[in-house]
């Protein structure tokens, strides 16, 4: 079953990711503290976001690393993914940023069922991946970096750094 999201360009997603960085005051910091952001900002019962965060066992989620239900304001992450993200795993940190992208970009009413192929700018998975990349390695901070520098300073995977590098240097 295909789903489509409201159309979003990479530039629009880039601006939203930058706004998230501005909210927590880390626009000059290459590393985005996704674990702290989820735990201290989104899951704080004293703020306006009120997201519920759950860690599930791998057998409960099987091949799914994380899921976000924006209708219920709930994010569920597999325990092994979460543990590795806490330890600094670039791939697992990306997963948390990806799920945050769903939470921010795909509130109820912005997603619908679709027939046939969905263009990238309406594909919720492309949008969440783009959000994660822009949050973890924002153009403003990495435009003069090599792939290896992005990996080191932003603590992202080679694959994510390479994609972001190629987009910036088209």
Query: Among candidates 133, 140, 141, 135, which has minimal Cα distance to 162?
Result: 133
Q: How confident is the model at residue 93 (pLDDT cuts 50, 70, 90)?
A: very high
pTM assigned to the model = 0.94
**pLDDT (0 to 100) of residue 49:** 63
**pLDDT (0 to 100) of residue 79:** 97
> Positive or negative, the Cα torsion across 42, 48, 51, 52?
positive
- Helix (H/G/I), strand (E/B), else coil: 2: strand
The string of pLDDT tens digits covering residues 12-68 is: 999 999 999 998 899 999 999 999 988 887 777 666 667 888 999 999 998 999 999
Query: Among candidates 66, 52, 58, which has minimal Cα distance to 128?
Result: 66
Exposure class string for 43-80: b at 16+ Cβ within 10 A, else e: beeeeeeebebeebeeeebeeebbebebeebebbbbee
**pLDDT (0 to 100) of residue 17:** 98
Cα–Cα dist 79/35, whole Å: 13
Q: Is residue 112 over pLDDT 90?
A: no
- State the DSSP code for 103: H
Q: Is residue 1 over pLDDT 70?
A: no
Q: How confident is the model at residue 95 (pLDDT cuts 50, 70, 90)?
A: very high
The string of pLDDT tens digits covering residues 122-142 is: 999 999 999 999 999 999 999
Cα–Cα dist 105/43, whole Å: 17
| Orientation of helix 90-105 relative to helix 10-24, angle to 10° | 100
Listed by start position, the domains of the chain span: 2-168
């Amino acid at each position: 079953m295909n789903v489509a999201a409201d159309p979003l360009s990479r530039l629009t997603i880039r601006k939203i990711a930058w706004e998230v960085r501005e909210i927590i005051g880390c626009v000059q910091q290459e590393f985005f503290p996704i674990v702290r952001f989820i735990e201290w900002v989104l899951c704080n019962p004293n703020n306006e976001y009120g997201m519920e965060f759950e860690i599930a066992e791998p057998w409960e989620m099987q091949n799914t690393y994380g899921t976000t239900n924006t209708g219920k304001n709930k994010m569920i992450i597999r325990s092994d993914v979460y543990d590795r993200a806490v330890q600094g795993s670039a791939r697992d940190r990306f997963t948390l940023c990806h799920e945050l992208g769903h939470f921010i970009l795909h509130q109820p009413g912005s997603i619908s069922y679709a027939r046939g192929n969905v263009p990238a700018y309406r594909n919720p998975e492309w949008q969440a991946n783009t959000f994660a990349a822009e949050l973890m390695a924002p153009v403003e901070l990495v435009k003069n970096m090599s792939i290896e520098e992005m990996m080191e300073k932003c603590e992202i995977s080679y694959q994510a750094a390479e994609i972001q590098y190629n987009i910036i240097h088209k």
